[in-house]
Chain A
Amino acid sequence: MQIVVVVRQPMLAGRPARLDDADEIAVDQARRIALCRRDVEVTALAPGPAAAAATVRRALALGADVGVHVHDARLPGGDALAISRVLATAVQRVGFDLVVCGCAPADAAWAMVPAMLAERLGVPSLCFADTLRVGSRTVEISRPEVYQAALPAVVSVTERCGEPRYQRFSAAARQPVRTWSLADLGLDDDSLAEATTVVAAMPMPRRTGTVIQGDPATAAGRVADFLAERQFL
């Protein structure tokens, strides 16, 4: 069974060796599946600049067996459609029964990539999984509604799937990481033209919490308003 875990370089510069929390959980989930079976090979796949090699390395330390780094100057930046094309080509080249991605809640573009990848690969997608269970031919998730699909499939997992175990400093962390360019994958510029473009970006003032005091009934009303506003009621 081939499991490909898609990891990406964290957005914050200056901590190149770390993964996003959700990506660490994605690698850990793949490792947990590998513990229960004999035939599993986990490949960590990271697209990105030279520093993303450290991301692959970290995934190897967390339990992946093989590392692949797609590194090219023409790699699309924030365009989900183009990124999914690169990933689909790379995943197909590795071969897969299951693709696991992490879904960081703060990144809208990345949240769509797993489903786009599944559509390109022509397989079912199970996104935003809070729990993940893999059988011999099927994969089942809950969020908390339960969904099931036949393998091969693409899943994306939330941070709720479970804390990763401690990393290991085994031979895997010293294994060579394969580096592919877009030319290696047979992708040309035309197919990676951006489908969206940013017109303007502006920072928002940091949101600070409100603290209210006084009459319990009024306070309860304010809390109910707050819950309704955020669609929890």
Chain B
Amino acid sequence: MTAVLVLVPAVDGSAFALLTLARRLGSPLAVACGPADDVAVAALGRFGAASVYSVSSTDFDRSPVAARVEVLAALARRRSPAAVLIAASRTGQEVAARLSVRLDSGAVGDVVDLRADAGGPVAVQAAGGGSGRVESRVVRGTPVFAVRTAAVTPSPAPAEPAVTRTHFALPSRTRAARRLGPGQRPSLATADIVVAGGHGVGSRAGFDLVGQVADALGGAVGGSHTATELGWCPRNAQVDQTGTIVHPRLYVALGISGSVRHRAAMRHATTVIAVDRDPASPIFEVADLGVVGDLHEVVPALLTEIKRRRSSVAPKPATTPRRHP
């Protein structure tokens, strides 16, 4: 059976999802950037990795994209695989794009499902922000797929992987982007996750709750016009038409009714969660998930729930703390 290259993003659910899809196209060859220990190899084997290619290098941290592209391109030329599967993270998409030029092969992004077909693998894509589905096929070269792993349910299929260990170093004169560090806490305007509180929070002391949710999710804190007018949060944290316009992936609105001026500033958010007491609040019209209830009861329960899920690693077997970004 032909090999299918799987770039292991981290030994967790995302890698298992990629392996699950890869098994449909051929025999999965897991490429672990950063040495895979025995626990990691066993975990990859449980989801069907026929072989594990464990590469150690300091360059994976320093130049994450360039180093991965080099390793994958070399392997793809040597093994001529049926496809290359990469998780569609920010780094992953960059790796997929550069690899596809390197191999002069077609690439498909935002893949949510894959199936084998007589004419080659068919990729199902979520198009137009989830408003449609597009099925496409790569007609030139080795197909490169950037997969949204969250959309795939991993299923185990135990295998005994053969492990190859090797070392890699980028040529010294490579011109590549370098990772400098983890970065600071994002400001409101550039934050990926924003948690905002409004009139329903009730008091300045109650605003601590908003901060706690932001800390739990790693996001920035914002406030509605009312909350800033009442002095519950600083004016530079105002999410409002005349304050800061935000573009997060996740927006959590706590006790915000959703005035026109507020919605104008957060309508770019990809996903919106709202908690408010009034079922008629306009915020629920734009929310992907709305909770009608007292936030002073719902939010503490949510914080406990998040803490509980973070502390128990039980549902995902053999999760290692190390992550390959």
Contacts and interface: CB of A to CB of B under 8 A. Distances in A.
A135 to B, nearest CB: 13
Interface in B232-254: 245, 247-250
Contacts of A226: 273, 288-289
Contact of A207 (B66, B93, B288, B291): B288
B178 A209 contact: no
B302 A224 contact: yes
Judged by DSSP, the binding face of B is mixed
B138 A200 contact: no
A144 B190 contact: yes
A148 B180 contact: yes
A106 B97 contact: no
Contacts of B291: 211-213, 219, 222-223
A224 B102 CA distance: 41
A147 B179 contact: yes
A111 B127 CA distance: 12
B109 interface: yes
Nearest to A201: B134
Interface residues of A, number: 80
B192 A209 contact: no
A136 interface: no
B140 A195 contact: yes
Q: How large is the interface on B (under 10, 10 to 19, 20 to 34, 35 or more residues)?
A: 35 or more
Contact of B279 (A126, A193, A211, A230): A211
Interface in A111-129: 111-116, 118-120, 122-128
Contacts of A145: 179, 181-183, 325
A143 B97 CA distance: 18
Given A224-B305, A232-B193, A149 B178 contact: yes
A211 B217 CA distance: 21
A233 B301 contact: no
Interface of A: 21, 79-81, 84, 105-106, 108-109, 111-116, 118-120, 122-128, 130-131, 140, 142-150, 153, 158-163, 193-204, 206-207, 209-214, 216-217, 219-224, 226-233
Given A144-B192, A216-B294, 16 more contacts: A81-B106, A81-B107, A108-B146, A112-B109, A115-B94, A119-B69, A126-B177, A131-B190, A143-B183, A146-B179, A159-B247, A160-B247, A195-B141, A199-B136, A200-B134, A223-B298
